Amino acid sequence: MERIKNVTVIAHGFGVKGFSGEKRVYLEAIKALQENGIGFKIVSFFKPSWTNEYEVKYLLPFQFTRFDKYQRLLIWFIARRQRDTDLFLNLSGVPIPLSNISKHVIYAGAPAIANVPTKYSSSLFWRLYIKPWSLIIKRLREEAKKAIFIANSYYSKKAIEEVYQTNVEKVIYPPVNVEFFSKAFNENDREPIILTIGRFERGKMLENTIKVSSRAKVKAVIVGTLSDKKYFEELNKLAKELNADVTFLPNIRDEELLDIMRKASVYFHPTIGEHFGIPVVEAMSAGLIPIVPKESGSSEVVPEFSYSNLEEASDLVLKVINSGVTLRREIQKRALAFSSSRFRRELIDSIFRLMTRQQP
């Protein structure tokens, strides 16, 4: 254990303002290192403007948020210079060539080129966007076999093993701030409202929430960071066309989200092919009954509430929308197993164990 003195944390999106599930993974992994007295530095694609608390090495001195997938590859140019490290803890999920420098542990979700439905297979534009990335990824399979993979779900584990033709050593579910969202748990006064949480971008498939709301004739509220204004406008137009009672709330504060969670009855997750789905567990912490795609990591959490198509999802919404407090308590109890402290403990335990292995 004493050999781990300096870790290089690869977090390509560390410089991005705002919050996301991936950002929470970054911060909780860093906290885990701090709690165990392990020195670290962070490698980011561009310089973070939101903090100067950490030692951060970066490729660009200015913010650039486009081409996220390619940032995960290009970060190699700065990561490879960090040679005074006992371990690369790669939270960007891509096996960039680092194993010849030091041990390389990769925390990853399902690769974008896995045989699962994603936005990258949804249109000609996205297929062209991902093509060069997929060709490079296939050439990184040898590096993948040298590195040590930790997956964020069993759904991701299967996809990683298929794409990289290697074994995943461990599954560690992402950290969820269940303590915070549990404050919204409410045994009474639930309203027939569907809640969806997700960035307003095409990959989140928020149009599925509108379709389910229209089909089930149940009010829906969609909350999330506004990333794509054109897509946001298209969603509003679709809601009018389908005569769906949908309220869009971009960029709201956490306390406002808690107020909505106290009222809503059902959480609907629209993103098919999602590696895990942190908002699902956040909503469960607040006592909402989750409806999730079977084709996702979320179905591992609540298999009994998973759907194969939107018709099935609509039926599930109507079935559970008036659920009583007993089921809501059971759902919340299930969510508490995904705490941030659990993630930090499992991550450090895995790093300590894996560091004892001799890599080829």
Reply yes or no on whether the pLDDT at 348 is more than 90.
Answer: yes
Reply yes or no on whether the pLDDT at 35 is more than 80.
Answer: yes
Q: Say which residue, 113 or 114, is predicted with more confidence.
A: 113
Same domain, 164 and 33: yes
Rounded Cα–Cα distance for residues 9 and 27 (Å): 10
Q: In what order do the strands lie in the sheet with 168-171?
A: 56-60, 39-46, 6-10, 87-90, 103-108, 148-151, 168-171
| 23-37, 108-122, 155-169, 329-343: the lowest-pLDDT one | 108-122
Same domain, 26 and 169: yes
Q: Is 275 inside any structural domain? A: yes
Token code pair at residue 283: 């909503």
Share of the chain above pLDDT 70, in %: 96
CATH of the domain at 306: 3.40.50.2000
Q: Is 215 inside any structural domain? A: yes
Mean pLDDT (whole number) for 176-205: 91
Same domain, 75 and 192: no
Token code pair at residue 313: 């999802």
Mean pLDDT (whole number) for 15-21: 81
Same domain, 182 and 144: no
Residue 355's pLDDT is 72
SS3 content of the chain, % helix, strand, coil (to 5): 45, 20, 35
Please, what is the average pLDDT of the chain? 91
In angstroms, the first-to-last Cα distance of the chain is 20
Distance of CA 147 to the CA centre of its chain: 21
Maximal C-alpha separation, the chain: 62
Token code pair at residue 91: 């939270």
Residue 358's pLDDT is 47
Same domain, 155 and 210: no
Reply yes or no on whether the pLDDT at 154 is more than 90.
Answer: yes
Q: Is 360 inside any structural domain? A: no
Same domain, 188 and 143: no
Q: Is 155 inside any structural domain? A: yes
Same domain, 220 and 248: yes
Token code pair at residue 296: 């996702």
Q: Is 193 inside any structural domain? A: yes
Q: Is 40 inside any structural domain? A: yes
Same domain, 304 and 345: no
Q: Taking a C-beta distance cutoff of 8 angstroms, is the pair 289, 234 a contact?
A: no
Q: Which run of H or of E encompasses 32?
A: helix 21-35
How many structural domains are present in the chain?
Answer: 2
Same domain, 248 and 347: no
- C-alpha pair distances (Å), 212 with each of 206, 243, 279, 294: 10, 12, 18, 16
Other CB atoms within 10 Å distance of the CB of residue 344: 21
Q: Is 1 inside any structural domain? A: no
Q: What is the DSSP string of 311-355?
A: HHHHHHHHHHTT--HHHHHHHHHHHGGGBHHHHHHHHHHHHHHHH
Same domain, 146 and 11: yes
pLDDT digits over 291-344, tens only? 999 999 999 999 999 999 999 999 999 999 998 999 999 999 999 999 999 999
Same domain, 202 and 290: yes
Hey, what's the torsion of the CAs at 348, 349, 353, 354, to 10 degrees? Answer: -40
pLDDT digits over 224-275, tens only? 988 889 999 999 999 999 999 999 999 999 999 999 999 999 999 999 988 8
Other CB atoms within 10 Å distance of the CB of residue 300: 16
**Could you list the residue range(s) of the whole structural domain that residue 39 is in?**
6-175+339-355
Residue among 248, 271, 231, 274 nearest 195 (CA): 248
Tell me which amino acid residue 125 is.
F
pLDDT category, 1, cuts 50, 70, 90? Answer: very low
| CA-based radius of gyration for the chain | 20
Same domain, 116 and 224: no
Q: Say which residue, 248 or 129, is predicted with more confidence.
A: 248
Mean pLDDT (whole number) for 278-293: 96
Q: Taking a C-beta distance cutoff of 8 angstroms, is the pair 313, 268 a contact?
A: yes
Q: Is 297 inside any structural domain? A: yes
